[in-house]
Structure 1
Amino acid sequence: MEIKKITYPLPKEHYNKSLFHIQKEQTEFQFGTVSLKKGTRIPEVGFTKHPSHEISIIQKGNIEMLNEDGSIKGYLKSGDVVYLEAFEAQAGNVLEDTKLIYILIKA
């Protein structure tokens, strides 16, 4: 067993902080935190597609999520839990300083 405190990246660090990264046979798990500043877009240009399923818990903040055609997909706010399929396109505009916890699962 390994125990860690939930901590977020410091302002001068990368916005993503991995707390656990575990690979067992054909399954890989990653658990971490993200801290995003109001007024930024994630990613800066285009969309991210990664090979892992993602579950994120919005601890604080508000993100406007975008469809690939630029329309608004929805809003992620404090208390929301979101699931994204592997390779699902994702991008968003950070409307408030935001902190979230994420779990990536790759089989």
Structure 2
Amino acid sequence: MTLINSASFVATNSFHGTAFSINFEKDFFFFPHIIENLNSRQTTLLSRLGLMSRIIESPTDLILRKLERISYDDVRPLLNNVIKESQAFLLKSIE
């Protein structure tokens, strides 16, 4: 967590690397696993937050992409909605 918090840019293939990058509002790229079903949590999160452009599918993608900064002003409200939905789901589950 400290490494991501102090990073200026993150390259990850893990859910936690992706989630911490978002929580700490870091610019990042996500490199999917070759095994498709290992990417579902990451791609769901990125899709819900409008960050699918952070997925690097091939070396060509990396060359073509600019290291554009993520507009966390746009992401923050979407993330807050995801958090509220998750909290509501958990509360309903334990009733």
Task: State if a TM-score over 0.5 links the two structures.
Answer: no
> Greater strand share, 1 or 2?
1
The structure whose RCO (Cα within 8 Å, separation 6+) is larger is 1
TM-score normalised per structure 1: 0.30
